[in-house]
Amino acid sequence: MTHELDEKFIGTGEIKGMVFKMLTQNDHSFLWQVINGDSVHYEVWLKKTNPVCIDFENRIYSETEFKYRKPKAKDFGIWAWSFTNNQKALKKFLI
Protein backbone atom coordinates (compact mmCIF):
# COMPACT_ATOMS: atom_id res chain seq x y z
CA MET A 1 0.00 0.00 0.00
CA THR A 2 1.29 3.45 -0.90
CA HIS A 3 0.14 6.54 1.00
CA GLU A 4 -0.97 9.30 -1.37
CA LEU A 5 0.35 12.86 -1.20
CA ASP A 6 -2.06 15.63 -0.25
CA GLU A 7 -3.46 17.34 -3.34
CA LYS A 8 -2.54 20.70 -1.80
CA PHE A 9 0.09 21.48 0.81
CA ILE A 10 2.32 24.29 2.06
CA GLY A 11 6.03 23.60 1.93
CA THR A 12 8.35 23.46 4.93
CA GLY A 13 12.14 23.51 5.23
CA GLU A 14 13.86 24.52 2.00
CA ILE A 15 10.47 25.13 0.33
CA LYS A 16 8.88 26.94 3.29
CA GLY A 17 5.78 28.93 2.41
CA MET A 18 5.42 27.66 -1.15
CA VAL A 19 1.92 26.43 -1.97
CA PHE A 20 1.80 23.19 -3.97
CA LYS A 21 -1.36 22.20 -5.84
CA MET A 22 -1.45 18.85 -7.65
CA LEU A 23 -2.80 19.39 -11.15
CA THR A 24 -2.72 15.74 -12.19
CA GLN A 25 -0.88 12.45 -11.83
CA ASN A 26 -0.39 9.29 -13.82
CA ASP A 27 1.25 5.92 -13.09
CA HIS A 28 4.73 7.46 -13.16
CA SER A 29 4.57 11.18 -12.32
CA PHE A 30 2.94 14.11 -10.55
CA LEU A 31 2.34 17.56 -12.09
CA TRP A 32 2.24 20.44 -9.60
CA GLN A 33 1.46 24.14 -9.74
CA VAL A 34 3.70 25.95 -7.24
CA ILE A 35 2.89 29.43 -5.93
CA ASN A 36 5.71 31.32 -4.23
CA GLY A 37 4.47 34.80 -3.33
CA ASP A 38 3.55 36.47 -6.63
CA SER A 39 5.42 33.88 -8.69
CA VAL A 40 3.94 30.72 -10.23
CA HIS A 41 5.87 27.80 -11.68
CA TYR A 42 5.22 24.13 -12.41
CA GLU A 43 7.00 21.00 -11.25
CA VAL A 44 7.03 17.44 -12.51
CA TRP A 45 8.11 14.72 -10.08
CA LEU A 46 8.59 11.07 -10.89
CA LYS A 47 6.85 8.85 -8.38
CA LYS A 48 9.47 7.64 -5.90
CA THR A 49 8.63 5.81 -2.68
CA ASN A 50 10.21 5.05 0.69
CA PRO A 51 9.02 2.48 3.21
CA VAL A 52 7.04 3.91 6.13
CA CYS A 53 9.02 4.00 9.37
CA ILE A 54 7.09 2.08 12.04
CA ASP A 55 9.65 2.41 14.86
CA PHE A 56 11.84 5.53 14.72
CA GLU A 57 13.92 4.64 17.78
CA ASN A 58 14.98 1.25 16.38
CA ARG A 59 14.87 2.30 12.69
CA ILE A 60 12.37 -0.38 11.69
CA TYR A 61 10.60 0.11 8.36
CA SER A 62 7.45 -1.45 6.97
CA GLU A 63 7.79 -4.05 4.24
CA THR A 64 4.24 -3.43 2.97
CA GLU A 65 3.51 0.29 3.48
CA PHE A 66 5.18 3.03 1.47
CA LYS A 67 4.91 6.80 1.08
CA TYR A 68 5.75 9.02 -1.87
CA ARG A 69 8.93 11.07 -1.60
CA LYS A 70 9.02 14.81 -2.17
CA PRO A 71 12.15 15.91 -4.03
CA LYS A 72 14.91 17.97 -2.46
CA ALA A 73 16.80 20.68 -4.38
CA LYS A 74 19.51 18.15 -5.32
CA ASP A 75 16.90 15.91 -7.05
CA PHE A 76 15.93 18.51 -9.66
CA GLY A 77 17.23 17.60 -13.08
CA ILE A 78 17.41 13.93 -12.03
CA TRP A 79 13.85 12.88 -11.15
CA ALA A 80 12.12 16.24 -10.64
CA TRP A 81 11.94 19.25 -12.96
CA SER A 82 10.78 22.86 -12.67
CA PHE A 83 9.21 24.91 -15.48
CA THR A 84 7.95 28.48 -15.79
CA ASN A 85 5.59 27.38 -18.58
CA ASN A 86 2.67 25.02 -17.94
CA GLN A 87 2.85 23.59 -21.49
CA LYS A 88 6.53 22.62 -21.11
CA ALA A 89 5.74 21.00 -17.77
CA LEU A 90 2.84 19.08 -19.29
CA LYS A 91 5.07 17.88 -22.12
CA LYS A 92 7.63 16.53 -19.60
CA PHE A 93 4.83 14.97 -17.54
CA LEU A 94 3.55 13.07 -20.56
CA ILE A 95 6.95 11.58 -21.51
| 18 to 15, 40, 41, 50: CA distances (angstroms) | 6, 10, 11, 23
User: What is the percent of the chain where pLDDT is above 70?
Assistant: 100
- What is the reported pLDDT for 56? 81
Burial class (CB in 10 A: 0-12, 13-18, 19+), 66: middle
| Bigger pLDDT: 36 vs 65 | 36
- What is the reported pLDDT for 55? 81
State which residues form the domain around 58.
Answer: 2-94
For the chain, the maximum distance between any two Cα atoms, rounded to a whole number of angstroms, is 46
What is the count of structural domains for the chain? 1
